[in-house]
């Protein structure tokens, strides 16, 4: 169900928060390596930039998925509300019809 997927997404988002500290540590390590390195500075910066870009893409994908799940949840809630309203109106009609006949 959508609720199950949404619960899993919230857990995934919590795990992302945990990894965010590691990404920050990676940037700090990159800065230290660049500071003390002479020949491989470009490669170090390129590697860190690639990791940062993938991290940002992952966060964006996670946000997009969560938004879509929330939209689906709202849609299913609207459908459920419509079924309930129909059932109430059908009950009223059946009562009226039974009394009219």
- pLDDT by residue (tens digit) across 4-44? 999 999 999 999 999 999 999 999 999 998 888 777 888 88
Rg (CA), the chain: 26
Judged by DSSP in three states, 54 sits in helix
CB count in 10 Å sphere of residue 3: 11
CA-to-CA separations, 67 to 21, 55, 61, 62, in angstroms, rounded:
24, 18, 10, 9
pTM for the whole structure: 0.75
């Amino acid at each position: 169900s959508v609720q199950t997927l949404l619960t899993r997404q919230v857990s995934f988002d919590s795990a992302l928060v945990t990894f965010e500290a590691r990404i920050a540590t990676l940037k700090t390590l990159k800065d230290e390596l660049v500071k003390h390195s002479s020949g491989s500075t470009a490669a170090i910066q390129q590697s860190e930039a690639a990791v940062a870009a993938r991290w940002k893409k992952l966060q964006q994908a996670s946000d997009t998925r969560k938004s879509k799940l929330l939209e689906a949840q709202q849609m299913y809630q609207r459908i459920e509300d419509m079924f309930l309203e129909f059932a109430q109106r059908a009950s009223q009609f059946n009562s009226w019809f039974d009394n009219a006949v």
